[in-house]
Structure 1
Amino acid sequence: MIQKIFSYLIPIKIFKKKSARSKMIEVTWANGELVLDSENTNYSYGSLQRILRYGLRNIGYKAILDMDHILLLGVAGGSVVKTLVDEIEYKGKITGVEIDSDMIQIANDYFNLNKIKQLEIIIDDAFEFVLKTKNQYDLIIIDIFEDTKMPNFLFERFFSERVCSLLKDQGFVLFNTMILDEAHNVRNRKYIAEINSKLFSSKMLPRIEDHNELIIIEKVA
């Protein structure tokens, strides 16, 4: 495809849409791959896929292969789903929760997300879903952004405790956060400090991208 070849020289935008939830969404050929971006940041594939792959590798591909059910809060284009299914060859169930139906339509049209049979997509608010779900999960991936902003509820103790209560024993949370200023650094350290250390261990991974910091929580009891 000519666009793919030329994208090694210059990014080629092939789709643009204004979304009520995510403002502007763009699909672009960049360095030979399709990526999904918002106005100011990468949403799926590209650097975001590298970040979440790094987090999954830290948890361990072998451990992931033994898991039965993974919950993804924030789907966007589904790059982490592709990493799980295509690279790690994970065979269990994946439930993806995404508030923006426009985003899922784009993910289906351009990234074939609807062809992944083990994936169930639920259009819902992540906060509401976490309150309602009765399931327990081996891994919960939190990847929720509105352009470069992260909703405040993600860092509130009530939400983090509810998320941790949904983990099976030896389960993990992989939380992708954005750091744009010192206040965000303080926020992340406060979040880590509030995790119940008797039941859970938590750590921040060294950054591989300037503005993203991954937090991993493991249920040890």
Structure 2
Amino acid sequence: MIPKLFSYLIPIKIFKKKSARSKTIEVTWANGELVLDSENTNYSYGSLQRILRYGLRNIGYDKILKMDHILVLGVAGGSVIKTLAEEIKYKGKITGVEIDAEMIQVANEYFNLNQIEQLEIIIDDAFEFVLKTKEHYDLIIIDIFEDIKMPNFLFESFFSNRVCQLLKNKGFILFNTMILDEAHNVRNKKYISEIDSKLFSTKMLPRVEDHNELIIIEKVA
């Protein structure tokens, strides 16, 4: 494929669309692989896939393989779902929640997300879904961005407490955050300090791919 070959020299954009939710969605060949970007950052595959893969590896692929149900809040192109299903060979159920239906159309067309049999996609606001769901999960992956911004609700104690309530015993939360200034550092430290240390252990993996910090929460009691 000619665009794929040329992409080792220069990124080749093959699709661009304005989205009401995500503003700009772009699919690009870069270094021989398809990536999904917003106007200012990588949304799926590329660096984002490396970031979340690193977080999953830190939790432990052996533990993930034993899980029954994983929740992904913020699907975009579905790179972390592909990592789970195709690289780790996870066979349990995956529920993906994505607010932008147009993003899922792109994910299906360019990244074959709809070919993952154990995946259920729900078009909904993550905040609303977390309030409504009756399920409990072994792993909850939070990867929600509006371009380079993260919605404030993600860091509010009401939301974090609710997400923690949805974990099964020995379950994990993998939360991808972006650090662009000192205020973001303070925000993340405050977030960690508000997690109940009697019930949960927390770990921070800083400066993953320059600007990302992963927060891992494990339910220990």
Name the TM tier (shorter chain): over 0.9
Report the alpha carbon displacement of residue 210 of structure 1 after superposing the two structures with TM: 1.1
Match of 1:156, as an amino acid? E
Q: Distance in 1 between matches of 2:181 and 2:103?
A: 28
Task: Show the counterpart of 1:138.
Answer: 138
Shift in Å, 1:202: 0.6
2:182 maps to 1:169: no
| Other-structure match for 2:68 | 68
Q: Where does 1:179-218 land on structure 2 (aligned, <5 Å)?
A: 179-218=179-218
Classify the secondary structure of the residue corresponding to 1:27.
strand
Alignment partners' CA distance in 2, 1:141 and 1:208: 16
Show the counterpart of 1:155.
155
Secondary structure (helix, strand or coil) at the match of 1:197 reads coil
Q: CA deviation at 1:203?
A: 1.1
1:206 Cα offset (Å) = 3.3
CA distance in 1, matches of 2:174, 2:208: 15
State the superposition RMSD in angstroms.
0.4
Q: CA deviation at 1:207?
A: 2.2
Deviations 1:100-152 (A, max 9, x none): 00000000000000010100000000000000000000000000000000000
Instruction: State the alpha-carbon separation in 2 of the partners of residues 183 and 206 from structure 1.
Output: 15
Inter-partner Cα distance in structure 1 for 2:207 and 2:58: 12
Any idea what the Cα deviations from partners look like across 1:71-101, whole Å, max 9, x if unmatched?
Answer: 0000000000010011100000000000000
User: Which residue does the alignment assign to 2:37?
Assistant: 37
C-alpha distance in 2, partners of 1:190/1:17? 37
**Alpha-carbon distance in 1 for matches of 2:206, 2:187:** 17
Residue in 1 that maps onto 2:119:
119
Equivalent pair of 2:206/2:212 in contact (CA under 8 Å):
no
User: Equivalents in 1 of 2:163, 2:79: separation in Å?
Assistant: 22
1:18 matched residue in structure 2: 18
**Unaligned stretches of 5+ in structure 2?**
none
Matched letter for residue 48 of structure 2: L
Amino acid at match of 2:150: M
**Counterpart for residue 51 of structure 1:** 51
Instruction: Determine what percentage of the aligned residue pairs are the same residue.
Output: 86
TM-score after normalising by structure 2: 0.99
Aligned residues: 221
Structure 1 regions of 5+ residues with no counterpart? Answer: none
For the residues of structure 2 that align with 1:207 and 1:148, how far apart are their CA atoms? 16
What SS does the aligned partner of 1:95 have? Answer: strand
Shift of 1:10: 0.2
Question: What amino acid sits opposite 2:138 in the alignment?
Answer: D
Which 4+ stretches in 1 moved above 3 angstroms?
none
Alpha-carbon distance in structure 1 between the residues aligned to 2:112 and 2:166: 29
